[in-house]
């Protein structure tokens, strides 16, 4: 039995259910439940939040350490001055991970945020009077405007997300409704740096807790206190900067605060240094709970974080991997090899050695020399050339160049940075199919990650639609629509019979892929297998040409008249051919009947085969004529190969059929 069937819903006839429902509505309407809790409960709650936060943070320590190293490699942060093999040796950082992140951002960001709409809506079930279609159009237009215009940080954070995701591997987007600004807000949160969650969970929805590190300035804290979002509390200000931010832990967790024995999900905000609870709100709503026998039987948290992931974890953990972790060892090897080549070339070009004076005396032990340095030693010599002893430094080894090239190629292959993807097609005039194959092969890693991003964005749009359903005012909604009939946002953003998706296509990511597919269709159109006008239309759309329809030639009215005349003449010609074939069949059957009396059965076979050929020919002529008549009557209007676009082709077919009929009938009859 499904969960929804197993757990009874609240019934109006059950007083206990009605009392529980009224209590839940009061909890949901409270701006801060911490005002109703005693100090002892708040103290225990604050300590529990901090303890669980530190426990979850410890579970992420290993992953966070690798993430920090990946970010250093991506940001090309050099270590301190190297003193090996000599002081101030080469310390170059090759931008392998940075290049991979830039390539990913350059492909994913334009695909996810096109220049037009970003949201599309599909509705299900019967649609009388196009009511659902009109509703889907309203929702699509409003949410596209909402993401790109009303909340400009959404597009900016999407750009940020597609740049950080390939490096870190996991990025969270936080969504909430801001009543002061009357809009949906969003913010990028990095795991470990901002969001702390137990890494042993299989997915974000099943995690026992989710914590977010908030940094708030003193004036922001005072604003929250005066607007009753926070309880008033005292906190010591460390340091001399009185405007330094304070850290809070905002944790979604489960606690039994109402004493019914069931831990409901709440969002608890705690000042980290003092462990004082400043805010408690319910993290569920009436759509995510089940009530039975006067108590809450089930309560699912109302999610406000969207998890974007580049590559899932190999061990089944919550946090996955990014290019920063995957390419860390390769990047370090490339850096070391490149620095060895630079150091070797440096020493080889500058040189060093000894210059003798009078008596040759050199103390024992290690003798360190700087590049380009000649040290004085006590030695007598009759020739100045004999008093100078250079040290020989070999040139960089060719093996190092081979290792460097192999490591860079391996990293580029893993990061999907091939020549054809960066605009260098190598050999010119390659067939379109070959280019498409190279693109598909080079995009394998990227395409799989892009599909994961597509799924997360689809979930994000559903969460935004839910926020609109709960908070969007009808005045703002109808002001945007500017229609004659007022629309209800609670009804329009109901997700029960509506599917909200990104406009982006998960199967065709980059403009290069779209152009290659469109060019492939154009090549097919030249063979006559598909409609040329539709192929050209798709090429223009893939190239993002504005007003593409205005560029396509309009049909000439006189051409339509000529086409209709040609069709009429073809029909007449086909009927004449059919009558001629009928006459040939009748004559041949007459000859066959007269010959049956005098000839053997074996001699009659050629006549019978000729009759069958005539009948097959008539069927072909009749099929072609009926096809033309059907198009003229509108039964298959617009089908590829109609007379409006291929009258000449039909004429050639008619001519060929006529030649075939003439050749067959020219054989003569017995």
Check: CB of residue 352 under 8 Å from CB of residue 373. Answer: yes
Q: pLDDT, tens digit, for every residue of 213-233?
A: 999 999 999 999 998 899 999
Q: Give the closest residue to 66 by CA, choosing from 432, 324, 393, 274.
A: 324
Q: Which two tokens stand for residue 426?
A: 């190598």
Residue 12, Cβ density class (10 Å: 0-12 exposed, 13-18 middle, ≥19 buried): exposed
Q: pLDDT, tens digit, for every residue of 271-301?
A: 999 999 999 999 998 888 888 777 888 889 9
Residue 622: its pLDDT value, please? 83
Residues forming a β-bridge with 214: 248
Phi–psi pair at 15, nearest 5 degrees: -60, -35
Phi–psi pair at 275, nearest 5 degrees: 60, 30
Q: pLDDT, tens digit, for every residue of 170-217?
A: 999 999 999 888 999 999 999 999 999 999 998 998 899 999 999 999
CA distances from 468 to 48, 476, 485 (A): 33, 11, 19
Residue 422: its pLDDT value, please? 47
| Summary count for the chain: helices (H), strands (E) | 21, 15
Q: pLDDT, tens digit, for every residue of 608-625?
A: 778 888 888 888 878 877
Check: CB of residue 200 under 8 Å from CB of residue 59. Answer: yes
Q: pLDDT, tens digit, for every residue of 574-621?
A: 788 888 888 888 887 877 777 766 665 556 677 777 888 888 888 887
Give the integer Cα–Cα distance in Å for 420 and 437.
Answer: 10
Residue 386: its pLDDT value, please? 65
Residue 621: its pLDDT value, please? 79
Q: pLDDT, tens digit, for every residue of 425-441?
A: 444 555 555 555 555 55
Within the chain, what is the greatest distance between any pair of CA atoms?
A: 139
pTM: 0.71
């Amino acid at each position: 039995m499904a969960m929804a069937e197993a757990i009874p819903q609240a019934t109006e006839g059950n007083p206990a259910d009605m009392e529980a429902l009224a209590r839940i509505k009061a909890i949901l309407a409270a701006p801060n439940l911490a005002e109703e809790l005693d100090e002892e409960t708040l103290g225990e709650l604050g300590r529990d939040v901090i303890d669980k936060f530190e426990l979850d943070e410890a579970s992420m320590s290993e992953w966070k350490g690798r993430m920090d190293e990946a970010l250093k490699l991506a940001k090309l942060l050099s270590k301190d001055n190297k003193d090996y093999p000599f002081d101030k040796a080469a310390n170059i950082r090759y931008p392998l991970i940075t290049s991979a992140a830039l390539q990913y951002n350059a492909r994913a960001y334009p695909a996810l945020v096109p220049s037009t709409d970003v949201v599309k809506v599909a509705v299900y079930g019967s649609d009388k009077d196009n009511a659902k279609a009109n509703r889907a159009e309203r929702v699509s237009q409003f949410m596209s405007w909402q993401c790109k215009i009303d909340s400009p940080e959404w597009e900016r954070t999407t750009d940020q997300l597609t740049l950080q995701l390939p490096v870190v591997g996991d990025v969270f987007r936080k969504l909430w409704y801001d009543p002061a600004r009357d809009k949906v807000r969003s913010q990028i949160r990095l795991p470990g740096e901002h969001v702390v969650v137990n890494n042993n969970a299989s997915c974000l929805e099943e995690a026992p807790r989710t914590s977010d590190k908030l940094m708030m300035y003193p004036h922001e804290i005072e604003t929250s206190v005066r607007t009753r979002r926070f309880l008033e509390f005292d906190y010591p200000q460390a340091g001399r900067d009185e405007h330094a931010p304070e850290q809070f832990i905002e944790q979604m967790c489960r606690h039994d605060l109402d004493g019914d024995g069931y831990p409901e999900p709440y969002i608890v905000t705690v000042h980290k240094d003092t462990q004082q609870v400043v805010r408690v709100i319910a993290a569920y709503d009436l759509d995510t709970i089940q009530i039975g026998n006067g108590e809450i039987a089930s309560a699912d948290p109302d999610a406000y974080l969207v998890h974007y992931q580049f590559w899932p974890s190999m061990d089944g953990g919550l946090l996955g991997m990014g290019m920063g972790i995957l390419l860390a060892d390769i990047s370090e090897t490339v850096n070391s090899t490149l620095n060895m080549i630079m150091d070797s070339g440096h020493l080889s070009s500058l040189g060093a050695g000894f210059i003798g004076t009078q008596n040759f005396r050199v103390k024992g032990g290690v003798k360190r020399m700087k590049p380009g340095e000649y040290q004085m030693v006590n030695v007598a010599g009759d020739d100045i050339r004999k008093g100078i002893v250079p040290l020989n430094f070999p040139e960089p080894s060719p093996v190092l160049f081979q290792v460097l090239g192999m490591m860079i190629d391996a990293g580029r292959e893993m990061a999907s940075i091939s020549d054809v993807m960066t605009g260098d097609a190598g050999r010119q005039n390659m067939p379109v199919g070959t280019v498409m194959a190279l693109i598909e092969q080079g995009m394998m890693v990227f395409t799989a990650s892009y599909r994961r991003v597509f799924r997360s964005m689809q979930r994000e749009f559903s969460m935004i639609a839910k926020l609109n359903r709960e908070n969007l005012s009808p005045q703002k909604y109808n002001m945007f629509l500017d229609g004659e009939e007022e629309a209800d946002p609670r009804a329009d953003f109901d997700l029960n019979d509506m599917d909200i998706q990104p406009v982006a296509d998960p199967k065709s990511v980059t403009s290069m892929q779209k152009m290659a597919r469109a060019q492939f269709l154009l090549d097919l159109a030249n063979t006559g297998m598909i409609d040329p006008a539709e192929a050209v239309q798709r090429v223009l759309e893939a190239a993002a040409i504005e007003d593409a329809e205005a560029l396509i030639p309009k049909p000439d009215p006189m051409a339509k008249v000529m086409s209709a005349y040609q069709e009429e003449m073809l029909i007449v010609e086909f009927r004449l051919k059919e009558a001629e074939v009928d006459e040939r069949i009748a004559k041949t059957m007459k000859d066959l009947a007269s010959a049956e009396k005098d000839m053997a059965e074996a001699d009659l076979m050629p006549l019978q085969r000729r009759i069958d050929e005539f009948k097959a020919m008539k069927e072909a002529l009749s099929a072609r004529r009926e096809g033309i008549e059907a198009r003229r009557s509108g039964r298959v209007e617009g089908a590829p190969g109609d007379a409006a676009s291929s009258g000449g082709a039909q004429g050639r077919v008619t001519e060929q059929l006529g030649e075939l009929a003439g050749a067959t009938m020219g054989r003569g009859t017995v």
